[in-house]
Chains A and B, each alone.
Chain A
Amino acid sequence: MINFKIMMTKTKIFSSLLALFIVFTACNDDFLDTQPLDKVGSNATWGDETLSEAFVFSVYSYLGYGGYEEQMLAVLTDEALFTHSGRGINTFNEGNETPQNLAWQSGTYNWATMYSAIRQANVALAQLPEATFDNQGMKDQLMGEAHFLRAYYYQQLMRFYGGVPLIDSPYTLADDLAIARSTFAQTVDFIVADLDKAATLLSGKAMDDGRASRLAAMALKARVLTYAASDLHESSKAPSGYGTDLHAYSGGQPARWQAAQQAAKAVLDVTSGYKTDLSAPVSHSEGMANAVAISMGGGSAVADAAAKSELIFTRTMSSKYTPEDNWPMGGTHFGVNNGPNGWHNWSGNPPTQQMVDDYELMDGSKFDWNNPTHKADPYANRDPRFHNHVLFDGAKWKPRPSDVIGMDPNSEYQSGKYDDGSGEYLAGLDTRQGPIENWNGSRTGYNLSKWIDPDPSLKENLTSHQLIPWPFIRYAEVVLNYVEASINLGQEAEARNWMNKTRFRVGMPAVTETGADLLNKYINERRIELAFEEHRYHDARRWLIAPGTLGRGVERIDITANVKSGKSPQVPYRYDKTTYDYTYEVQNETTVENRTWKDKMYYRPISRDEMNKNDLLVQNPGYE
């Protein structure tokens, strides 16, 4: 009986379990059809205006931090010397870059990154005409922005590589991916055509800061045509081996200068920048204020907000953009990246002595170390843009951090060594021998300050954000492009007249030179006005002056302050010409780079892997 009961229970449980077992394993089709909960389907995007716009925003994102990178393009030129070793920068500056051993390259012009960006633009350009949302105005605008951005990224490739493969639709895995480089002329034409379309599509659109506008498209066109007209790209003038159609035109240079001039003039006809209607130089102090305002681009609480009108295309900054807190840090941390170590900053891209020397005196004359007056007090009476761009020994700056201010209550930049009265010298707080994070000290004796917000309430620590926009294109560049075309077309009066527009507002006197002197004056004016804005790298190449400028060894300044006889040293030290005799010695700076010039450096190499993946590619000269 008991046994029977057990048998019954057993059978019942067995049967019910078996039934359950079958039920839960039967309907399984849906069970395995889960959906991703952290992404959005691509097909949903083009039916929705906001999502489509978000896609175009991602095309912008390849602009990165603009030029506010930890390692600025300036350090590949005679503008600046990167402080920290081991970053692959010397590989470039010492002429050792090869297709197998690429030097450091920024993501803002790197071959692969640019083509990723171009693809995003191509996807948008292919999808937007088919997009199912209603707002045609928005479609046009997004198309215009995509055309502009594609042109911008091709322009980067053109500047660094010459003529490149031109891809105007999104590839699929099934496509033949091998493609030859177009000629330089075709590349220029492609970019210009995109910009013309952008200008048309963006016509009448009020664009937010940080987005492409009609004016931006016109200004970028002026730049591209200026490059196209330059000697580097004229076969007969280009260095030997660099005159093929991958990099140059054969003849027709005057017509190209005319086109460049017209394109620039078209911009100048519809906008006027910041304080460019002056008929005479302003005072030094006003010039100083204007220079600061132009650098700040309206983004600082302590500079003229109206200077925003100078900007044509920018990368804007937001304190809320938390990814910029990530390494490597971007434009909101320009101050940390570039300020002096004595403010607990990292002195990333300090100006070279040669850069400092090229700032004129207030009267428009050249600085000269052989002039005893100049040598005795080299930082006095200089172009206000020098005081705006460069921190130099004795320059007053923001308040020192709380743990340092005791050592320097006056908050003056200290890059020298100072007699302490006992025969020993104190190393300046902002030197590589100083007591504060000295590995972050500048190697040249200067720091770059052009875009550091002077607002004292913004402490230069890792979590205070400055909001100075990066100027991809600004009015002064268009003016100078116009000037350059005018000089090359022999219109010297017109050139002088427009050059004064960037000079009067900062207090510099009118240009009077003619002929070769005028060209040199222009070359220097562009170097100073557009300093550190990613122009020098290209300009020195375009003008074929790279070997004697970019190829120079870097110089630094050694400053020694000795106590005048009968005086006692200042404790704590402060800059004081009545107490100390200051001597300034220019020295070769070789600790991290021994710069040289090799002609292959006119263009960057295409990596060996890329060459091998695309057998139609031709390598740039000097890297074969």
Chain B
Amino acid sequence: MPGVTVIEKGTFNGVTTDFDGNFTLTVSDENAVLVFSYIGFVTQEVPASSDSIIVNLASGSDELEEIVVTGYGTQRKATITGAVAAIKGEDIIKSPAVNLTNTLSGRLPGLVVIQGSGEPGGDGATINIRGINTLGNSSPLVVIDGIPDRDGGIGRLNPQDVESISVLKDASSAIYGARAANGVILVTTKRGESGAPKLEYSFNSGWTAPTVLPEMSSSYEYANIMNELAIYNTIPVNEWGSALSGIKGAGIYNSPTEGITSLNALYSPTAVAGYLSGNDPWNYPNTDWYGETFKNYAPQQNHNLSLSGGSENVRYFTSLGYIHQDAIYENSATFYDQYSLRMNIDADVNEYIKMNTGILTRREDRNFPTVGAGAIFRMLQRGRPTENARWPSGEPGPDIENGENPVTITGQETGYRKNPKDFIQINGGINITNPWIEGLELIVNGAVDVNRETSKTWQTPWKLYAWDGVNQSSAGLSANVRSPFTDPRLTESSNSVLNTNLTGQLKYNITFGENHDFELFAGVTKEKFSGSDFFAFRRNYISPAIDQLFAGGADDQNTGGSAYERTRLGYYGSLKYNFKDTYLVEFLFRRDGSYIFPEVGRYGNFPGILAGWNISNESWFNVQDISFLKLRASYGELGSDQVFYNGQLQEYAFLSTFGFGQYPINSNVVNTLYETVLPNPEFTWEVARNTNFGLDAKLFNKLNLTLEYFSNKRDQILIQKQGSTPASSGIGSLLPPENFGSMTNAGFEFNLAYDGGDSNYSDPGAFRYTIGLNGGYSKNAIEFIDEVSGAPDWQLQEGKPLGAYLLYESDGVWYDEAEIAANTLDYSQVTNQLRPGDLKLVDYDKNGKIDGDDMVRQEDSFTPRLQYGITLDMSYKNFDLSVLFQGSQGGLTTLFNGEFGDWGNYYKYQHDNRWSIENPSRVHPRLASRGDTWYTGGGYGNNTYNYGSTDYLRLKNIELGYNLPQEFLGQGFISNFRLYASGLNLLTFTEFGMTDPEVADRTYPLQKVWNLGLRINF
């Protein structure tokens, strides 16, 4: 078997087996033990001998002996000293998710994965390692095949090309220095193995549908709500009951009060009855806007063809991928296509010189309508059920506003937006071993990444149908231009990126005495990222026939463009010490220079120290049920040159520069120059001090266990000294971001895997199962951000998590007038008159009145504190089943967007629970129309009633597979034929069912996917 790693136990001395499975290794002494390891097989230890050894590896899953990719190298799990979580490619491809980021949640403890949107082409998740560590940018560094911060990131990698993904969570990432503060995600792609060519074809066909769609009120329910609201807003409280009877009965209420003569029902009794019966859909529709706009399922497909193999000296892996993903719109202008080609080639020039090359080309083809998903989903919720999305004769109904009728603006009638991105990424390297000195290795790598993105938005006026109100057929409809513009217009933009990376590294292994093994490693990396962009806009096209820039009108053109150049230089090294696999110590160091900082203090130093103790290797340790026990500890000082303030990377903050603006003077647009920010000559890094304690164990030979505890401190975060700068100084908005902020983050992770079933690994058909439970908990707290003094303690951000909400606390609802009459709290700063159905607020400071001081900083933010996964993998005969449940706890989000009432529909939840004259509530308040009650709009709208938990548990992933028995396949052409059915996000359990808990409302919803697939190996 080729490619098996053979290492002398307790050393870094090792080789890999050749094409025929042969190897030669010179060991330090005759008592040496050789460790044979290969991914997916049980590692074996065999005493070394000068004669030939024949070793038979059994497939299995001995987690402890797996090889894991770590910073600039690989390590056996048994000798790892840092907090490292890893996932293998075979687990990734169980998920039918198109975007790789969405396959990671629930699989890697400590990784916080939140998918904000399900829109094809825009469905990548936000990933944070151990939650939020900074006020600035919490994104981890992604390293793909050794190249950091590779353009295009991780999301669009073809899952089929991924060999493994490792996550460095603690000081183990210190070797990446200035970009390691938020942890590092290492992606390794597949490489060829010597042997006969292996051809693999896989095909997936999926059907997607939203996980959760808001359930909205019917037209009958909506009309009733709106009739009630008119009473609340115009009629004195003591007449509400009789007003409701009047409105429901005769459709009019005559008030005895002066100044209020009569109130007419907004929706007359005839109309309300019409909505209820549904007999007259032209006049009294009951429109399901989502239903009218969406189809039941949107298709997605994925084809992948890969070829790998090689001779003894040259190995190759090539893969061709195609993905197609459609949107859920009935008449969809949105779709995503991706084409990718990867070629990884390794060549052994001779015994000592090896070369490797990786080439990736990828096209990401995004297509959208000209109206963004934000507007579409806003309009879907705003669509009132009392209006027709489509006329009963089939034509699109009127717009909701600005020409926006979702039935139409999701399609091609509005023009198009094409947004293709092309990536070419090439990396190559040479390794030379044992030049003069035994154990010395030189590695030189280079990478060039090129990306060009263009965008073309062609907006054409569109028509909608107006009804004459009389003729209930197509004949009564007329088409009118209803787009908010009448001339076609074109915007084109282009940006290109060129990133280069040049790396040189030296590695040296040496053993002193019998068991003192050292590995010395030193490297230098030089990076340059450059890019430029421009755009052009023309309008007043006389016809929608020509969608090219040259054909636009002469007036009102607009162009623009910009560029950047970003460089970094890093020196790094490590020293690893291993004593008999029992005592493990690792020093990491990096010195980084970044263009972003002023020359003085441009370089930062980032050390890390890690230590491990394999207790189970001690001779005195003799616990039968504990076959492995390791304690680990690490501390590192890591940095971040991704210094963000207010969501913006602060480049050149040490220079005094003016920004460009525009303003009309004398009816012309002139350029303006303005101060953007005062310079900060001491501008520098964020510094992370991260501590980690870990424990790895194997119990009863069945249970693998990893526990981690971490405590992170981040200093020198950019803040503005807002707290001490009055606005009257005029520099309140020009304050330079300065490195004074600090934050802490602490938590734990757990990972348990129970390996059950038949322990006969040599029988592939035996019943086997693995149950896993993993999760990560993190809680951050702001330590210093220069808060304005004077606010009450309970409102401070300091001491609370980043993004913790500042809210009034609600405490039920004023049930009736009697309850209000008994009220002693002063609400005069809130409202001139409390009325039944108003929210009750808590007088937090107990000063007898509700005022601004009663807002309370909550413990929760949108970011959950705990994310976890439960996995079950089973196999029996030719069947296998894999299940992943994934959950999240501790996030808080706003429940209602405020766009309901006269300009939008209500959730059915709001209708069903509301305080009403006939059915008063002590929990849920009277509804508002577009924020017109004090507890829905304005400052007092920020209250706990309007917020809810995002906790959820979902069936994230399930796959049932069947491998055709060998007897069907016969001898030869097809070596394996696998059929499988899989699903993504099939079930979601959550407290509030209005929207998917991961996404804000008015966003393209997350999708569930039912998938059928097959994989054929030739």
Q: Which residues of A contact B (CB under 8 A)?
A: 6, 9-11, 13-14, 17-18, 20-21, 24-25, 28, 31-43, 45, 51, 54-55, 57-58, 60-61, 84-88, 90-91, 94, 96, 98-101, 111-112, 115-116, 118-120, 122-123, 164-165, 167, 170-173, 175, 177-179, 208-211, 315-323, 344, 401-404, 406-407, 417, 424-425, 432-433, 437-440, 459, 461-463, 467, 558, 585, 587-588, 590-592, 594, 596, 608-614, 617
Given A10-B353, A25-B504, A55–B674 Cβ distance below 8 Å? yes
CB neighbours (8 Å) of A18 from chain B are 442
CA distance in complex: A615, B343 (Å): 67
CB neighbours (8 Å) of B675 from chain A are 42, 119-120, 123
* CB contact between A57 and one of B663, B789, B931 (< 8 Å): that residue: B663
Q: Tell me which residues from 107 to 156 in chain B have a Cβ below 8 Å from any Cβ of chain A.
A: none
A25 → chain B closest CB, angstroms: 5
Chain B 670-693: CB-based contact to A (< 8 A → 1; otherwise 0):
111111101000000000000000
In the complex, whether B242 has a CB less than 8 A from a CB of chain A is no
> In the bound complex, do residue B669 and residue A320 qualify as a contact, i.e. CB atoms below 8 Å apart?
yes
In the complex, whether B474 has a CB less than 8 A from a CB of chain A is no
CA distance in complex: A90, B432 (Å): 76
> In the bound complex, do residue A55 and residue B672 qualify as a contact, i.e. CB atoms below 8 Å apart?
yes
In the complex, whether B725 has a CB less than 8 A from a CB of chain A is yes
* CB contact between A112 and one of B528, B656, B732, B941 (< 8 Å): that residue: B732
> In the bound complex, do residue A39 and residue B658 qualify as a contact, i.e. CB atoms below 8 Å apart?
yes
Chain B 819-843: CB-based contact to A (< 8 A → 1; otherwise 0):
0000000001111110000000000
Which stretch, B481-489, B508-516, B964-972, touches the partner chain A?
Answer: B481-489
Given A13-B430, A45-B673, A596-B832, A167–B730 Cβ distance below 8 Å? yes
> In the bound complex, do residue B504 and residue A17 qualify as a contact, i.e. CB atoms below 8 Å apart?
yes
In the complex, whether B762 has a CB less than 8 A from a CB of chain A is no
CA distance in complex: A87, B941 (Å): 11
CB neighbours (8 Å) of A57 from chain B are 663, 665, 670-673
Given A91-B939, A402-B480, A58–B651 Cβ distance below 8 Å? no
Known: A17-B442, A208-B665. 16 other contacts (CB 8 A): A17-B432, A36-B651, A37-B564, A51-B673, A116-B730, A119-B675, A120-B730, A172-B678, A178-B726, A211-B665, A316-B666, A320-B555, A403-B482, A432-B902, A438-B902, A613-B725
* CB contact between A461 and one of B485, B662, B734, B932 (< 8 Å): that residue: B485
> In the bound complex, do residue A111 and residue B938 qualify as a contact, i.e. CB atoms below 8 Å apart?
no
CB neighbours (8 Å) of A36 from chain B are 564, 651-652, 655, 657
CA distance in complex: A55, B901 (Å): 46
Give 14 pairs: A residue, B residue, CB < 8 Å, sorted on A.
A36-B655, A61-B674, A85-B929, A86-B931, A111-B727, A116-B733, A119-B730, A167-B730, A171-B731, A172-B678, A403-B466, A407-B469, A467-B667, A591-B233
In the complex, whether B620 has a CB less than 8 A from a CB of chain A is no
> In the bound complex, do residue A462 and residue B670 qualify as a contact, i.e. CB atoms below 8 Å apart?
no
In the complex, whether B729 has a CB less than 8 A from a CB of chain A is yes
CB neighbours (8 Å) of A40 from chain B are 657-658, 660, 673
* CB contact between B478 and one of A34, A319, A403 (< 8 Å): that residue: A403
CA distance in complex: A57, B566 (Å): 32
In the complex, whether B78 has a CB less than 8 A from a CB of chain A is no
> In the bound complex, do residue B593 and residue A33 qualify as a contact, i.e. CB atoms below 8 Å apart?
no
Q: Which residue of A lies closest to B539 (CB)?
A: A463
CB neighbours (8 Å) of A592 from chain B are 233, 932
> In the bound complex, do residue B665 and residue A60 qualify as a contact, i.e. CB atoms below 8 Å apart?
yes
> In the bound complex, do residue A318 and residue B669 qualify as a contact, i.e. CB atoms below 8 Å apart?
yes
CA distance in complex: A25, B522 (Å): 13
> In the bound complex, do residue B674 and residue A461 qualify as a contact, i.e. CB atoms below 8 Å apart?
no
CA distance in complex: A497, B724 (Å): 55
Given A86-B941, A439-B903, A41–B655 Cβ distance below 8 Å? yes
Across chains A and B, the number of contacting residue pairs, with CB separation under 8 Å, is 325
> In the bound complex, do residue A21 and residue B353 qualify as a contact, i.e. CB atoms below 8 Å apart?
no
B370 → chain A closest CB, angstroms: 13
CA distance in complex: A209, B664 (Å): 10
> In the bound complex, do residue A10 and residue B444 qualify as a contact, i.e. CB atoms below 8 Å apart?
no
> In the bound complex, do residue B730 and residue A94 qualify as a contact, i.e. CB atoms below 8 Å apart?
no
In the complex, whether B563 has a CB less than 8 A from a CB of chain A is yes
* CB contact between B930 and one of A172, A179, A439 (< 8 Å): that residue: A439
CB neighbours (8 Å) of B563 from chain A are 37-38
B659 → chain A closest CB, angstroms: 6
> In the bound complex, do residue A6 and residue B352 qualify as a contact, i.e. CB atoms below 8 Å apart?
yes
CA distance in complex: A340, B532 (Å): 45
> In the bound complex, do residue B266 and residue A433 qualify as a contact, i.e. CB atoms below 8 Å apart?
yes
CA distance in complex: A184, B665 (Å): 32
Q: Which residue of A lies closest to B259 (CB)?
A: A588
* CB contact between B726 and one of A9, A177, A208, A403 (< 8 Å): that residue: A177
Given A41-B655, A54-B670, A319–B398 Cβ distance below 8 Å? no
In the complex, whether B402 has a CB less than 8 A from a CB of chain A is yes
CA distance in complex: A39, B594 (Å): 20
* CB contact between B350 and one of A10, A39, A123, A210 (< 8 Å): that residue: A10
CA distance in complex: A424, B269 (Å): 12
Q: Tell me which residues from 406 to 439 in chain B have a Cβ below 8 Å from any Cβ of chain A.
A: 430, 432, 435-436
CA distance in complex: A588, B675 (Å): 49
CA distance in complex: A439, B436 (Å): 83
* CB contact between B569 and one of A20, A32, A608 (< 8 Å): that residue: A32
Chain B 256-273: CB-based contact to A (< 8 A → 1; otherwise 0):
000111001010100000
CB neighbours (8 Å) of B52 from chain A are none
> In the bound complex, do residue B353 and residue A613 qualify as a contact, i.e. CB atoms below 8 Å apart?
no
In the complex, whether B74 has a CB less than 8 A from a CB of chain A is no
CB neighbours (8 Å) of A101 from chain B are 829, 851-852, 939
Q: Which 5 A-B residue pairs are closest in the complex by CB-CB distance?
A: A86-B931, A100-B852, A119-B730, A86-B937, A612-B790
Q: Which residue of A lies closest to B434 (CB)?
A: A10
> In the bound complex, do residue B478 and residue A32 qualify as a contact, i.e. CB atoms below 8 Å apart?
no
B265 → chain A closest CB, angstroms: 10
CA distance in complex: A116, B727 (Å): 8
CA distance in complex: A208, B676 (Å): 27
> In the bound complex, do residue B727 and residue A115 qualify as a contact, i.e. CB atoms below 8 Å apart?
yes
